[in-house]
Amino acid sequence: MRSLVITCATIRAELEQVIKKTQFKDPVLYLESGLHNNPKKLHAVMQEILARIDNVDQVLIVMGYCGNAVLDLQAHNYRMIIPRADDCLTMLLGSQARRQEVQQEKQTYFFSKGWLQYFDNLEKDIVTDLTRMEARYGKERAEKIFRSMFKHYKRAGVIDTGIFDIDELMLQAREKAQTMQLDCEVIPGTTDFLAKFLTGPWESDNFIIINAGETVLYKHLFASASTA
């Protein structure tokens, strides 16, 4: 079966390791991480790409809902497979259910290797606001306002998939989390979700299959797996 992967640069480091491990041979298209900030633009970019695709049997959308950017995407003469995940970090945790478990323990702001690498793009609005506030109010007051934006979080969680040096990731995360006044903790992660995404099978608990000619509807994303 011929596949095409559409995914985000934020998860590229992990996905490339999984591609090597699974010996996945089909093409992969990486989208700019900054599109995460504008779901409407992300949707438009993805739909434009989908409209041009030919000679494949399925398109694997290896990214989360991303502010419902996947809503109303239309499959053409191929099927689409979408994860039941609100964003890429959920896939690195293993499932949406696992993310909810972690959040129930403590409200967590998650970091991954890619999230740390592209932090300024992914949190562009907040980073821009901090720069603007520093110019207007001074560094001390600006940082106080900045911290208030993250006050509902109780920790920063660094997702450890076992691929990268966790000590190095923790060092980078602490630098970001210090401004948020959050302590960093290691959160066990996995690449099993990504591996299954590339190879199947795509069980309904974790994946949504949109058949050729169909459109991604709200019921696909938010109905329970048993009723979708």
Q: What is the pLDDT of residues 164-222, one digit of tens each?
A: 999 999 999 998 888 788 999 999 999 999 999 999 999 999 999 999 999 999 898 88
Is it the case that residue 226 has pLDDT exceeding 70? no
Percentage of the residues of the chain whose pLDDT score is greater than 90: 68
Stretch 70-92: mean pLDDT: 94
Pairing of strands 79-83, 184-188: unpaired
Average of per-residue pLDDT values in the chain: 88
Q: Inter-axis angle of helices 139-148 and 124-137, to 10 degrees?
A: 140
Instruction: Assess contact for 17 and 190: CB atoms under 8 A.
Output: no
Is it the case that residue 47 has pLDDT exceeding 90? yes
Instruction: Assess contact for 35 and 56: CB atoms under 8 A.
Output: no
Stretch 17-25: mean pLDDT: 96
Is it the case that residue 120 has pLDDT exceeding 60? yes
Sign of dihedral through CA atoms 105, 10, 16, 96?
Answer: positive
Stretch 146-168: mean pLDDT: 89
